């Protein structure tokens, strides 16, 4: 374990559970540094990722309202490189839109995998946005290289990335006959290493 990781482990035992909101996440991250972290971390085979739970939440006060959903997505590792337990909780309540409320909410709890102590609550929507954008960019890069080599695509055929589309710097479909296809490649494993990076960047900033 390196010196920096030793410092982080020591901070775990001293640190009270913190809240990292969406504004803080956007301050801490850039696509390039998160992509680099994902590239180096996703090869770690010590991360356990059970099947996510999808639970139905019936509305007992309004039986005409559609049921809500609770998605529970856990992952954990006791590797010195990733000493964390992470759980993303996503709630989907379609009738919220009629009340001017978000239909989907997400939060992420990061805990120490050696003591079980809670370390941070991180905005789950931001985690989903960043990890989806960056992991898709990694996958796109690998798939495009193969397509270029086989002559199926030319570099000039690519007008943008998913990350640029999400940011709004590139437009989507401009004609009805065009088709947009997206394959999600995210998982609880990617959520965990993304939350790890956000948390450790936050600790580094607070100790500077």
| Global pTM value | 0.74
CB 105 within 8 A of CB 97: no
Place of tokens 């939440």: 57
Could you tell me how many residues make up the chain?
208
Question: Tokens 């102590």 sit at which residue?
Answer: 117
Residue given tokens 């401009």 in the structure block: 174
- CA separation for the pair 123, 85 (Å, rounded): 16
Note the pLDDT of residue 167: 54
Mean pLDDT to the nearest integer, 82-109? 93
The residue-averaged pLDDT of 30-54 equals 87
Asked if the model's pLDDT at residue 28 lies above 60, the reply is yes
pLDDT at 176 over 70: yes
3 state SS of 22: helix
pLDDT higher than 80, residue 99: yes
pLDDT in tens, 61-70: 777 778 899 9
pLDDT at 8: 61
- Confidence at residue 107, expressed as pLDDT on a 0 to 100 scale: 96
| pLDDT at position 122 over 50 | yes
Task: Decide: 23 and 123 in contact? Cβ < 8 Å.
Answer: no
Give the residue with greater pLDDT, 5 vs 177. Answer: 177
**Please, are residues 133 and 31 in contact by the beta-carbon 8 Å criterion?**
yes
Domain spans in the chain, listed from the N-terminal domain onward: 3-123+186-207
pLDDT higher than threshold 80 for residue 165: no
pLDDT score recorded for residue 142: 58
In CATH terms, the superfamily for domain 3-123+186-207 is: ornithine cyclodeaminase, domain 1 (3.30.1780.10)
Q: What is the pLDDT of residue 185?
A: 40
Confidence at residue 133, expressed as pLDDT on a 0 to 100 scale: 83
pLDDT for the residue numbered 183: 47
pLDDT surpassing 80 at residue 208: no
């Amino acid at each position: 374990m390196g010196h920096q990781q030793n410092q982080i482990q020591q901070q775990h035992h001293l640190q009270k559970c913190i809240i990292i909101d969406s504004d803080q996440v956007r301050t801490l991250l850039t696509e390039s540094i998160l992509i680099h972290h994902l590239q180096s971390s996703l090869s770690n085979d010590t991360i356990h990722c059970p099947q996510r739970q999808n639970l139905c939440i019936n509305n007992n006060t309004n039986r005409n309202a559609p049921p809500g959903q609770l998605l529970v997505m856990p992952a954990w590792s006791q590797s010195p490189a990733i000493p964390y337990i992470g759980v993303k909780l996503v709630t989907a309540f379609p009738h919220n839109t009629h009340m001017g409320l978000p239909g989907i909410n997400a939060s992420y709890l990061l805990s120490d995998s050696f003591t079980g102590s809670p370390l941070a609550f991180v905005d789950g929507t931001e985690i989903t946005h960043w990890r989806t954008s960056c992991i898709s960019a990694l996958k796109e890069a690998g798939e495009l290289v193969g397509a270029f080599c086989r002559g199926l695509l030319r570099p000039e055929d690519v007008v943008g990335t998913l990350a640029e589309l999400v940011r709004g710097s590139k437009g989507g479909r401009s004609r009805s006959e065009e088709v947009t296809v997206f394959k999600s490649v995210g998982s609880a494993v990617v959520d965990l290493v993304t939350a790890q990076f956000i948390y450790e960047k936050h600790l580094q900033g607070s100790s500077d």
